[in-house]
Amino acid sequence: MLIAGCGPIGLQLLMSPNMLGAMLYTSDPMAVRRAKSLTLGALESFDPSDGKLVEQIKARTEGRGA
């Protein structure tokens, strides 16, 4: 699962599925928000402004995507 945006709502969305053992990835242009998502259980967080978000997610999910 990919949560696009790590503001207050995105971080809230991160917490419930994480408790159920879901593989969660996040994406946000702000480094501080990406770092916070990692402390709340995201496996990895990506900067969408680098233009390689789709390729990065597919690489982490054996080509399945999010």
Query: Can you tell me the distance from the alpha carbon of 17 to that of 59, in angstroms, rounded to the nearest whole number?
Result: 21
pLDDT of residue 66: 79
65 in any annotated domain: no
Number of domains in the chain: 1
pLDDT of residue 61: 85
The CATH number assigned to the domain holding 26 equals 3.40.50.720
pLDDT of residue 28: 92
Q: Tell me, what amino acid is at 4?
A: A
Q: Quick check: pTM over 0.85?
A: no
pLDDT, tens digit (0-9, with 9 covering 90-100), for 9-64 = 777 777 766 556 678 889 999 999 999 989 888 889 999 998 888 899 899 888 88
47 in any annotated domain: yes
Range of the domain at 49: 2-60
